[in-house]
């Protein structure tokens, strides 16, 4: 991700942040980090994980309705967050709204067709759609 963009001294949005695993790492360099998570229990866990990090906040929300103002984010990180795929257009429209001009959206998904993780995934789920 660092080869694509820098988040140093910028505002990062982690969309679908889950338990907030990635938030502390972003917080080391970013000016501000906002986690958005629709599941209340996960949002609470993410808040607990980051409670001592003054530049991190964790909000309840979805990709389709991001609780942030227009043009307020420099870098979005959406890792294996389930709103992509068919029907994801409202989430993409929200990305366009909240990201400042020149910002970057990093959308990361797992490739279910290879790797150790892919083998586990294929055993448990129907064949994944091509990326």
Ligand X SMILES: C[S@@+](CC[C@H](N)C(=O)[O-])C[C@H]1O[C@@H](n2cnc3c(N)ncnc32)[C@H](O)[C@@H]1O
Which residues sit at the interface with ligand X, rule CB under 6 A? 15-18, 21, 37-39, 42, 62-64, 79-83
CA distances from 18 to 42, 52, 90, 123 (A): 5, 18, 20, 23
Nearer to ligand X, 65 or 70 (CB): 65
CB of 19 to ligand X, least distance (A): 7
CB of 6 to ligand X, least distance (A): 20
Nearer to ligand X, 9 or 48 (CB): 48
CB of 13 to ligand X, least distance (A): 11
Nearer to ligand X, 102 or 116 (CB): 116
Tokens of 22: 């990635």
How far is the first Cα of the chain from the last one, in angstroms, to the nearest whole number? 18
Q: Where are the beta strands (DSSP E) in the chain?
A: 11-15, 32-37, 56-60, 73-79, 99-108
């Amino acid at each position: 991700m660092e080869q694509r963009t820098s988040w140093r001294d910028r505002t990062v949005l982690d969309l679908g942040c889950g338990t907030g695993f990635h938030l502390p790492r972003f917080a080391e360099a970013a000016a501000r980090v906002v986690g958005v998570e629709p599941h209340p229990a996960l949002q609470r866990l993410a808040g607990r994980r980051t409670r001592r990090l003054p530049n991190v906040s964790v909000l309840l929300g979805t990709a389709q309705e991001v609780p942030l103002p227009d043009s307020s984010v420099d870098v979005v990180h959406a890792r294996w967050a389930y709103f992509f795929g068919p029907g994801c257009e409202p989430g993409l429209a929200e990305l366009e709204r909240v990201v400042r001009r020149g910002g970057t959206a990093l959308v990361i998904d797992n490739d279910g067709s290879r790797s150790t993780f892919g083998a586990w995934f294929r055993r448990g789920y129907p064949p994944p759609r091509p990326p």
